[in-house]
Structure 1
């Protein structure tokens, strides 16, 4: 337990802060104990927050995901042939090397994001991966491609967990899923947008002596670089730091979030011991496997769906255009599920249903090989299932982490560990297995089932923790500092199911 001797200098200030009315119970069902500032209403304030937080993060991640997976579009236009990637699975290795820094640097990146202002750190990273994407358009050999893909992973490492961490510090738990899913749908929009953009850019083949695949990297990277300058001023910070809210509004936002999730501890630095303490909670490890299981089919689809569709006999331009509808369907399905999940204040069922949809899609792809229309329809189910379940899982896990230090480390762990699945996905779909890809589809089904089992285990663990806390003595005499240190391990905290 945390005793008086262990208090940081900041703890005294935290205990002196004006207390928000305490609610000892399930925070999701907490009464409205704070009053909205007189010059606005809660719905209007939420709309302002939405407009300042979500659109810019969505555009940022759309560009990040686009720059990450546009290599699949470039490959349709001759990347592998020009750089001699057809031997020894070189193309797959070029995809894998991205994940090495991307996995290892997630937690350090989130710590830096908290230490620096989010808009500063994220815009720096944005400029970096945009520049590296441009450089991919000028590489002349396999070694050059490996170097650029590695540094692309370095600069993109903070985008996804950083944005999820930041969104989670703005919204109450029953408000978060729609925002998480809309943000996550940047990936589906990037997939759709990338197909359309690649089909147009591909027509520039030969312009200024550059192949069409080079123009895909150059123009899409340049677009990101230009946005990064504007986003230095437009990306949001944490609620305690923004200037577009009045002091009264900032206090209200902080208070309503505290009732829902406990104190955030924004003023408290993250220390090395915090990282170790977070991993003492077995739910953290399970949360990583929930996401890990879905990364394999998600990246398998993102990186290889253009090749799969091209195997149905379409031309390069037709392939890019046919890649758009499944992404669009995934966006619509994801937002529908998110709306019901927030409405019912429940997550578990809304992870399992899309997971089942994805399994059905892979089942069709494994068993049907002579019906192009049915195979193409199965790709819709795969995209809809995987890219709908993933944001629900991430939201469920992240919003059950209390406080800045536990959420910063926990969210980065989940995304970092989960992306090991990207390495597995890349080597699951190899050219020698085309066009049936039986091995790849079978591996994907196995990992989707792993995600489903992990979700069931996490649900049971959260349910048992809530039940145990409800039966235990309520007032254990913890100070506000000690409650902040414990985060969601605080006996008053209740996990969302």
Structure 2
């Protein structure tokens, strides 16, 4: 079994000679590795996708609610609506690294289900708010509740899969967000017909019903979310030992027992590749959140009614899902990450430049460019995350590194909440120009990260650095 270099072969950060020992141990232990990986897939992926799907829907459904008189009922000014979007990211960004550390200590199944229940409850409460103060309070608390979900899921998945298995799983997981965007629009369309029931406008029902559904599913998550391989009770002792061994042969010791303190965090963050990884993620994150929050609003400028705009917000997400999974399969098959990231960022850039430059009457052309923008952004995100996280070794580096990259990138989410102000309608020049600039920055950061990885590989292959086993 081959181990891949950071980018020479596109995936890992060191090499291993052929004749891997874990193949012999699998045969010796009478373990069918393919069936075991399928068993892991069925236990790990579906429930994490559901957790993140609900988190994403509950985070961005305010964009759907905005079309159903939310601002009017709560007497919001334009800036107050954007502030309500932005305040979520203040607590969300601040708590991401601590959240990963807490998850490691209290076990993933407890942490994830607790987070899910809390943000579901807060979304339900959001449906009963009466003013701006109530809205920003629930949004701020939601940031704390959701902070550990996205980086925590990547951290957990990275401890279960090898590098040449990871991309399809990471992309499938992130596709939960694209599915959430489409599903959220479809839900909002249906719930929109409940306007006036029991005296509540449709936007309140969007929050109340989706929040209650999240709370119910959090009970399922408590029993279904898996812990780390060393602690997974649904595997036999032999299977647990084999899973730990096969990952250690490629990625080094997991060091589950190692405590993560402040000095350990600083040690992980001093690697320049870690800092660059944050900038790689920054650009597509800004665009991704802009699309998540404002696709219904953007589409409504094409002459659709609120219900029609909700329906037309679905195809860009569906197209993004299709391309993302195609890119993931090709990336794992070719064992490369860099060219696929660049391709997707350039595709997104082409889409947003078209939206910025073309303001003609052909709404079909603008809608097509919007689809390209979404496809490029949401296909690039999981490959960027996978490339970086799977190059990190051990619980400490992956807990801190994944939270850093995603936390830093989410600073762009804060920017995105002010990127499409109502005064810019219908051209939205501010939002599109920010998308162009930050995607360009991420392309440069990706090239720099590639150069760092290439230099690292040369050191290792020339024997200047000890191989990490």
Could you say which TM-score interval applies, normalised by the shorter chain? over 0.9
The correspondence of residues 95-106 of structure 1 with structure 2, limited to 5 A, is 95-106=85-96
- Tell me if the contact between 1:300 and 1:426 (Cα under 8 Å) persists in the aligned partners: yes
- The structure 1 residue matched to 2:175, chosen from 185, 197, 209, is 185
Whole-angstrom distance in 1 between the partners of 2:37 and 2:50: 20
- The structure 1 residue matched to 2:342, chosen from 348, 352, 355, is 352
The correspondence of residues 3-82 of structure 1 with structure 2, limited to 5 A, is 26-27=14-15, 31-34=19-22, 35-36=25-26, 38-82=29-73
- Establish whether residue 396 from structure 1 lines up as the match of residue 391 from structure 2: no
- Establish whether residue 262 from structure 1 lines up as the match of residue 252 from structure 2: yes
- Greater alpha carbon shift after TM alignment, 24-33 vs 103-112: 24-33
Q: CA RMSD in A?
A: 1.6
- Tell me if the contact between 2:14 and 2:460 (Cα under 8 Å) persists in the aligned partners: no
Instruction: Give the aligned length.
Output: 456
Whole-angstrom distance in 2 between the partners of 1:350 and 1:388: 9
- Establish whether residue 466 from structure 1 lines up as the match of residue 454 from structure 2: no
- Give the corresponding residue for 1:8: none
The correspondence of residues 47-196 of structure 1 with structure 2, limited to 5 A, is 47-87=38-78, 89-196=79-186
Offset, 1:27: 3.9
Whole-angstrom distance in 1 between the partners of 2:52 and 2:114: 14
- Tell me if the contact between 1:30 and 1:259 (Cα under 8 Å) persists in the aligned partners: no
- Give the corresponding residue for 1:492: 467
- Tell me if the contact between 1:27 and 1:259 (Cα under 8 Å) persists in the aligned partners: no
Offset, 1:31: 3.7
Offset, 1:86: 3.0
Offset, 1:438: 1.2
- Give the corresponding residue for 1:451: 442
- Tell me if the contact between 1:23 and 1:30 (Cα under 8 Å) persists in the aligned partners: no
- Give the corresponding residue for 1:323: 313
- Give the corresponding residue for 1:308: 298
Whole-angstrom distance in 2 between the partners of 1:51 and 1:362: 37
Whole-angstrom distance in 2 between the partners of 1:149 and 1:27: 46
Whole-angstrom distance in 2 between the partners of 1:195 and 1:334: 20
Offset, 1:84: 1.6
Whole-angstrom distance in 2 between the partners of 1:120 and 1:285: 30
- Give the corresponding residue for 1:249: 239
- Give the corresponding residue for 1:4: none
Corresponding residue SS for 2:231: coil
Offset, 1:23: 12
- Tell me if the contact between 2:278 and 2:405 (Cα under 8 Å) persists in the aligned partners: yes
Whole-angstrom distance in 1 between the partners of 2:445 and 2:458: 20
Corresponding residue SS for 1:73: helix
- Give the corresponding residue for 2:406: 415
- Give the corresponding residue for 2:425: 434
- Greater alpha carbon shift after TM alignment, 25-34 vs 145-154: 25-34
> What TM-score, normalized by structure 1, do the two folds share?
0.90
Corresponding residue SS for 1:312: coil
- Establish whether residue 376 from structure 1 lines up as the match of residue 367 from structure 2: yes
**Structure 1 stretches (4+) deviating beyond 3 angstroms?**
22-31, 37-40
Change (3 A) 1:423 1:235: same
Whole-angstrom distance in 1 between the partners of 2:362 and 2:409: 34
- Give the corresponding residue for 2:266: 276
